C-alpha cells in the first residue's frame, strides 16, 4: 500500500503525463462514429485555460463548483480544471431529478455550474438557484453566460502547476438518495493515490497501454474512479459514447481493455444474443462462434470486465462466464472510494459473490451481521452532517448498511440491505434481495421488487423485459406462472410468493421509482403499488395491472 509521502494526487498525474508523454492520446470524443482525439498536451492546455478562467472569477479557495452533464471529453477536463483552480467539484447525475438537483446545489452552496447534456435540461431554471453562473460544456442545451469552447479560445493557460494539499477536499460526491435527501461524501486529494495503484494492478491495467470506454455517468463514484481516476494513474486512453443510438457500434470500434457496467446492461447484452440465438442452441456453440459473439459485443480484447453497483443475476453472470467473458463482480461504496472487494485477474469468480477485500482494505462482519470496511479510501465525512458521519464511521470502521457473510475462502457474500429486511404476519423475517436474485434467471423479466411487511406472505412486483413484452398476454401469463412455481419450489414455505403482480409501466428515474444510479426506491414502489396488491390477493397467481 502506498504511503502518504509517496502518494500522487490526480493533478500531479496530469502534470506527469503532459510532460513525459505529451503526444500520447488521452481522450477520444465521437461524432456520428467519427473520432476526434486529444493528447495529454492538448488536455493539459485545456485544463490550464479553463483553470485560468475559474481563477478569474475571484471565488474563495475551496468553493464548490458543480458539474451537471453526461460524459464527454469535457467532463475530466472540467474536473481537473476545478482542482487546478483550488476548488471542489460537485457532480450531479445526468438523470438527476429536479428536486434533488436543487437540494444538492443549495446544500453544497455551489458558486458555478458547468452544464452539458442532461435529462431535465428543459427544467434547469427550477433546479439551478438564481445567482449561480452557468458555463456550457459539450452537449449543453441550456442558455449559459459562458461556454468551455469560448473560454479555451480566449484565455491563456496557467503556467504554474500547484500541488494541492493532500488532506484537502477535492470533491463532494452526493449519494443517490435512496431513502431521503442525498448525502455529500467528501474525498481528499490524496485518496485516489492510496486506492488506484492496487486497483490498477488487480485489473491488469498496463501503464500507457489501457483502453477505457466510458458509458456510465462519471458523476457515479464507480465510473469516475474506475475510468477517470484509473486512466490518470495508468496513462490510459478514454473513449466516450455519443449516446444510446451509437453505443453498440462505438463499443465494438473501441474494443476496450477494461469495461465496467451495471447488471442491467449485462442483462440487455444477454437478451440481444438470446434474440438471435435461442438459448437452447447456445450450449452447442463452437469456440469460434463464441469468440465472434464476444467481439460483436465489443469485449474481445478486454482484460477486466466488471459488474457492480447492484447484484448481477447469477444466471446472467454464469452465462457470460460460459461464453468466455469472465464477468467479475466488484463491491464498494461512494463512502470508501469503492475500496472494498473485488475478484482480481488471478481469481476464478463465483457467481453471486463479490470477492475478497482489495489490498489495503480491511473487512469484517459485525455482531449484527453488517458489512464493515476500514481503509485509506474512507471519506472525510458527510458534508455539513457530522451526526450522520458519526453514525456511518465508528472507531474507524465504515458501516455499509449491507448484511453479509464471509465464506471459508475469505470471500464476501452480500445478502441485502439491513434496513430492507421485513417481517410477515407469521413473524418470519424476509430478505427481499435474496428472493429477487432468483428472478434474474428469467429472460422474461426486466425489473422485480419484493415487499410485504405486515402481509401473510411476500408480495412480488415485476415489469417484463423486451423479450416478455413481445409475447401475447395469455402466453406471458402462463410462462410467468411457471417461473413463479419454479422459484417457490426452491424456497421454504414462509418465503414463498403466492402471486406475481405485473405492472403496466417500467420503474424509472422520472417517475420517482429508481434513483439516478438505477437502484430501486423500495419505499416509493411499495407506496405506489401496495393498495393494488392488497386489493388483489385472492385473484390468481399472475395479476396484470
Separation of CA 502 from chain center: 27
User: Could you tell me if residue 235 is inside a domain?
Assistant: no
According to DSSP, the β-strands at 88-92 and 64-68 are parallel
User: Per-residue pLDDT for 457 more than 60?
Assistant: yes
The answer to whether 371 and 386 have CB atoms below 8 angstroms apart is no
Instruction: Kindly tell me if the per-residue pLDDT of 430 is higher than 70.
Output: yes
CATH code of the domain in which 283 resides = 3.40.50.12780
* pLDDT for residue 2 is more than 80: no
294-315 confidence digits (pLDDT tens): 999 999 998 888 888 777 777 7
pLDDT confidence band for 428 (50 / 70 / 90): confident
Domain assignment present for residue 375? The answer is: yes
Assess whether 406 and 530 both reside in one domain: no
180 plus 310 within the same structural domain: no
What CATH number corresponds to the domain at position 525?
Answer: 3.30.300.30
> What integer pLDDT is reported at residue 277 of this predicted model?
86
**195 is a domain residue:** no
Q: Who wins on pLDDT, 22 or 433?
A: 22
Structurally, the chain folds into a number of domains equal to 3
Q: Averaged over 23-46, what is the pLDDT?
A: 96
Q: What is the largest CA-CA distance in the chain?
A: 73
Q: Are 268 and 235 in contact (CB under 8 A)?
A: no
pTM, to two decimals: 0.84
454 shares a domain with 373: no
Output the domain CATH number for residue 150: 3.40.50.980
Q: Which residue has the higher pLDDT, 365 or 526?
A: 365
pLDDT band, residue 73 (cuts 50/70/90): very high
Q: What is the mean pLDDT of residues 286-291?
A: 89
pLDDT of residue 5: 55
Q: What is the C-alpha separation between 185 and 91, in angstroms, rounded?
A: 11
Cα(26)–Cα(186) distance, integer angstroms: 27
Terminal alpha carbon distance of the chain:
54
**pLDDT at residue 393, rounded to an integer:** 96
pLDDT tens readout for residues 137-149: 999 999 999 999 9
Among 390, 452, 460, 392, which residue's Cα sits nearest to residue 420? 452
**Residues 238-264, mean pLDDT to the nearest whole number:** 90
Look up residue 185 and give its three cell numbers.
461524501
The mean of the pLDDT values for the chain is 90
State the residue range of the domain holding 443: 421-544
Greater confidence (47 vs 279) lies with: 47
Q: Could you tell me if 405 and 279 lie in one domain?
A: yes
* Same domain membership, residue 460 and residue 395: no
Cα 175–181–182 angle (5° rounding)?
15
Q: Which residue, 284, 285, 236, 244, is CA-closest to 265? A: 244
The pLDDT tens digits for 352-372 are 889 999 988 999 999 888 999
Of 77-81, 112-116, 368-372, the poorest mean pLDDT is in 368-372
Q: Is 135 contained in some domain?
A: yes
For residue 89, the SS3 value is strand
Domain end call among 418, 438, 468: 418
| Of 69, 93, 67, residue with least CA distance to 176 | 93
**430 and 410 both lie in a single domain:** no
In this structure, the answer to whether residues 274 and 162 fall within a common structural domain is no
Cα gap 222→216, rounded to integer Å: 9
The last residue of a domain, from among 142, 170, 186: 186
Q: How confident is the model at residue 492 (pLDDT cuts 50, 70, 90)?
A: confident
Of residues 192 and 5, more confidence is placed in 192
Say if residue 414 is in the same domain as residue 426: no
- The answer to whether position 248 is within a domain reads no
Q: Single out the residue in 401, 418, 435 at which a domain terminates.
A: 418
1: confidence class by pLDDT, cuts 50, 70, 90? very low
What confidence score (pLDDT) does residue 211 get?
95
| 265 assigned to some structural domain | yes
Residues 267, 410, single domain; the answer is yes
Q: What is the 3-state secondary structure (H, E, C) of 363-377?
A: EEECCCCEEEEECCC
Is pLDDT at 470 greater than 80 in this prediction? yes
Quick one: 266 and 411 in the same domain?
yes
pLDDT 10s digits, 87-107? 999 999 998 888 889 999 999
The percentage of the chain sitting over the pLDDT mark of 90, rounded to a whole number, equals: 51
Both 63 and 161 in one domain: the answer is yes
Whether residue 425 has pLDDT greater than 80 = no
433 and 342 belong to one structural domain: no
Amino acid at each position: 500500500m502506498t504511503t502518504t509521502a509517496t502518494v500522487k494526487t490526480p493533478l500531479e498525474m496530469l502534470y506527469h503525463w503532459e510532460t513525459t508523454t505529451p503526444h500520447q492520446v488521452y481522450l477520444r470524443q465521437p461524432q456520428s462514429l467519427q473520432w476526434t482525439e486529444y493528447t495529454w498536451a492538448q488536455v493539459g492546455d485545456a485544463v490550464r485555460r479553463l483553470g485560468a478562467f475559474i481563477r478569474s472569477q475571484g471565488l474563495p479557495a475551496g468553493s464548490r463548483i458543480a458539474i451537471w452533464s453526461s460524459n464527454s471529453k469535457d467532463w475530466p477536463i472540467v474536473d481537473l480544471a476545478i482542482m487546478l483552480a483550488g476548488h471542489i467539484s460537485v457532480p450531479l447525475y445526468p438523470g438527476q431529478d429536479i428536486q434533488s438537483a436543487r437540494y444538492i446545489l443549495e446544500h453544497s452552496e455551489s458558486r458555478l455550474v458547468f452544464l452539458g447534456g442532461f435529462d431535465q435540461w428543459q427544467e434547469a431554471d427550477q433546479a439551478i438557484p438564481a445567482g449561480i453562473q452557468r458555463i456550457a460544456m459539450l452537449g449543453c442545451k441550456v442558455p449559459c453566460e459562458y461556454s468551455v469552447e469560448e473560454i479555451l479560445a480566449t484565455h491563456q493557460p496557467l503556467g504554474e502547476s500547484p500541488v494541492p494539499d493532500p488532506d484537502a477536499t477535492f470533491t463532494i460526491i452526493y449519494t443517490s438518495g435512496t431513502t431521503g435527501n442525498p448525502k455529500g461524501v467528501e474525498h481528499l486529494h490524496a485518496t485516489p493515490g492510496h486506492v488506484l495503484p492496487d486497483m490498477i494492478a488487480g485489473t491488469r491495467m498496463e501503464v500507457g497501454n489501457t483502453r477505457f470506454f466510458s458509458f456510465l455517468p462519471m458523476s457515479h463514484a464507480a465510473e469516475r474512479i474506475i475510468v477517470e481516476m484509473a486512466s490518470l494513474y495508468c496513462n490510459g486512453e478514454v473513449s466516450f459514447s455519443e449516446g444510446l443510438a451509437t453505443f453498440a457500434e462505438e463499443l465494438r470500434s473501441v474494443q476496450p481493455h477494461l469495461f465496467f457496467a451495471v447488471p442491467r446492461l449485462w442483462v440487455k447484452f444477454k437478451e440481444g444474443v438470446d434474440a438471435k440465438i435461442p438459448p437452447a442452441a447456445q450450449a452447442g456453440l463452437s469456440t469460434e462462434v463464441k469468440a465472434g459473439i464476444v467481439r460483436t459485443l465489443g469485449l474481445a480484447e478486454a482484460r477486466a470486465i466488471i459488474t457492480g453497483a447492484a447484484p448481477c443475476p447469477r444466471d446472467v453472470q454464469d452465462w457470460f462466464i460460459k461464453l468466455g467473458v469472465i464477468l467479475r463482480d466488484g463491491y464498494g461504496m461512494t463512502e470508501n472510494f469503492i475500496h472494498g472487494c473485488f475478484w482480481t485477474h488471478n481469481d476464478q469468480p463465483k457467481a453471486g459473490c463479490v470477492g475478497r477485500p482489495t489490498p489495503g482494505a480491511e473487512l469484517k462482519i459485525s455482531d449484527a451481521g453488517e458489512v464493515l470496511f476500514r481503509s485509506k479510501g474512507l471519506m472525510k465525512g458527510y458534508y455539513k452532517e457530522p451526526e450522520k458521519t458519526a453514525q456511518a464511521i465508528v472507531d474507524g470502521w465504515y458501516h455499509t448498511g449491507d448484511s453479509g457473510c464471509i465464506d471459508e475462502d475469505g470471500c464476501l457474500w452480500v445478502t441485502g440491505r439491513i434496513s430492507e429486511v421485513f417481517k410477515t404476519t407469521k413473524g418470519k423475517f424476509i430478505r427481499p434481495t435474496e428472493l429477487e436474485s432468483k428472478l434474474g434467471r428469467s429472460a422474461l423479466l426486466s425489473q422485480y421488487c419484493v415487499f410485504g411487511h405486515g402481509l401473510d406472505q411476500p408480495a412480488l412486483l415485476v415489469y417484463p423485459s423486451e423479450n416478455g413484452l413481445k409475447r401475447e398476454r395469455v402466453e406471458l401469463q402462463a410462462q410467468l406462472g411457471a417461473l413463479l412455481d419454479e422459484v417457490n419450489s426452491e424456497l421454504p414455505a414462509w418465503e414463498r410468493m403466492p402471486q406475481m403482480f405485473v405492472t403496466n409501466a417500467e420503474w424509472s428515474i422520472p417517475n420517482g421509482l429508481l434513483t439516478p444510479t438505477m437502484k430501486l426506491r423500495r419505499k416509493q414502489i411499495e407506496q405506489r403499488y401496495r393498495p393494488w396488491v392488497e386489493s388483489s390477493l385472492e385473484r390468481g397467481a399472475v395479476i396484470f395491472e
